[in-house]
Every structure is written in C-alpha cells, then in structure tokens.
Amino acid sequence: MALLRLENVTLDFHVLENRGSGKRKVVHSNAVGGQLATGTAGYLRVRALDDVSLRLEPGDRLALLGHNGAGKSTLLRVMARLYEPTQGEVAVEGRVAPLLNLGFGLDMEATGYDNILIRGLFLGMSRAEIKRKMESIAEFSELGEFLDLPMRTYSSGMRARLAFAVSTHVENDILLLDEVVATGDAAFLRKANEQLEGFMMQSKIMVLASHSNAVLRDLCNKALLLEHGRVKALGTVDDVIEVYKDMSHAKT
C-alpha cells in the first residue's frame, strides 16, 4: 500500500534580519519566495509552506506548479521527510525515492564505486540490494575505469550520471522528482529518459515539479499550484495550468 498524506502542513525558516537595509516592512506580493514576517528578536520568519493539505494514493501522478520560490522544492523535501514541518502532519506509507538533488549523498574524496554505496544507503537501499545492483549501476553510468577514481576527478556531468544511475535503481512506491534531470550528452540523455520513464512506471505515486507544461500534461493526472507556500489551486492538470496562466498574466 502506498499513501502520501499532508494535513495542515506549515514550514517556517528563521533567518538573521538584515537591519542595515532599512527595510522593516515586508511586501507579501513579492514575485518570488515564501511569506516574510518579523520573528523572534533579530530574526525574520520565512513561511515556506502555509497550511498545505493533500492526499495521494496509488495511481496519482501529481504535477507541482508555481513561480520560482513558490514552495515546490520545499514541499517535495517535506514529502521526502528531509524537512520536518513546523506545524501539521505528514504521513507516508511505502518506499520513497527522492530524485531531487543529484549532489546529495556524494563524497568527493571517495571513489565512484564507494559513492554508489554511499548514495544508495542515503536513498534507503540496503547493502545487500546495492551489492546486487552494483554491476548494473556501473554499466548504466558508462564511467568504466573512472569508477575506481575519486569523485573529485569527475566532471559535473560524470557526477550527475553516477548519481542518476544509483537513483533510478532504487525500488520505490513513491517517486519525487524536482524537474527532469539533464545528465550529459545527447546519447546518454536519451538513454536516461528511457530509464526514467520505466522508473516512473514502477512507482505507485509520483510527484513532479517542473516548469514545462508539456511534460506535466504528458506525465501527470492531477496538479497543485502553489503561491508563496499556499495552495492556490488543486485539480486536473489542464485546469490548474489555466489558473496559473491567468495568475501570471494578472501580475504582468
């Protein structure tokens, strides 16, 4: 059984206030970012998510829409249990595969093979599972003898290849995606897209944040629109995209 449920989830970050700017009042119609307010002495409170509720069950493919800083990536990290909400409840049943940041779980001084183990453990795989899939991951990455070298000798594209290879070998019930990841040259990108398509089909629930309406229409069956961390619309992909377009036109 796979289930992802959020009830009245609010997430606040507290940051040091820049008193030198002289800007004490906060404008809530900013183009980007969460809601700002004065917090405890010397700090500003950034409300990244504000009273977000939703329920996802097997078969749900949720698109996340919103401007930069609207809270999409933060919401994905709450779903992955990387962030604990300030208020509200997050309930997750099933194995989660968070394909959010290809830099997570990598050690620049460790070899490629060691990093397969490190990232695999970070993503919740057992040592036995990683050992069983090691050859397949190595083959998919196409890094060959570089896997015996420290990660610091890799280009950014090579690091992305290896992290992507590990991530898409995780058995999952719930797949969380922050944009579709570009991982190198055109030939490998085609191969990666095919792997990602199969990976998405394997998952029972998927949540995808993207700025490409075409991708969202193709892959998702419902959508949620965020504005300053609040739910602005929840419904079919086409309906929510139209709300987003109307909202964007109103701000121009």
Specify the CATH number for the domain of residue 74. 3.40.50.300
Give which of 110, 15, 4 is closest to 57, Cα–Cα: 4
Report yes or no on 182 lying in a domain. no
Report yes or no on 204 lying in a domain. no
Kindly tell me the sign of the dihedral angle through the C-alpha atoms of 176, 153, 146, 184: positive
Q: Is the pLDDT of residue 2 over 70?
A: yes
Its domain, for residue 74, covers: 3-95+210-251
Residue 10 — φ and ψ, nearest 5°? Answer: -125, 140
Report yes or no on 89 lying in a domain. yes
Cβ proximity of 177 and 207 under 8 Å? yes
pLDDT of residue 33: 60
pLDDT of residue 237: 97
End-to-end Cα spacing for the chain: 44
Give which of 242, 226, 227, 224 is closest to 54, Cα–Cα: 224
Q: Is the pLDDT of residue 17 over 70?
A: no
pLDDT of residue 221: 95
Report yes or no on 47 lying in a domain. yes
Residue 54 amino acid letter: L
Report yes or no on 240 lying in a domain. yes
Give how many domains the chain has, as a whole number. 1
Report yes or no on 186 lying in a domain. no
Report yes or no on 48 lying in a domain. yes
Report yes or no on 52 lying in a domain. yes
Cβ proximity of 120 and 129 under 8 Å? yes
d(CA 25, CA 207): 35
Edge-first strand order for the sheet with 222-227 is 96-99, 174-178, 205-209, 61-65, 222-227, 230-235
* pLDDT single digits (tens) 54-67: 999 999 999 999 99
Cβ proximity of 161 and 141 under 8 Å? yes
Cβ proximity of 252 and 245 under 8 Å? no
- 14 vs 137 pLDDT, higher one: 137
* pLDDT single digits (tens) 114-155: 999 999 998 889 999 999 999 999 999 999 999 999 999 999
Kindly tell me the sign of the dihedral angle through the C-alpha atoms of 27, 30, 36, 42: negative
* Predicted TM-score (pTM) of this structure: 0.79
Cβ proximity of 145 and 153 under 8 Å? no
* pLDDT single digits (tens) 170-180: 888 999 988 76
Cβ proximity of 4 and 205 under 8 Å? yes
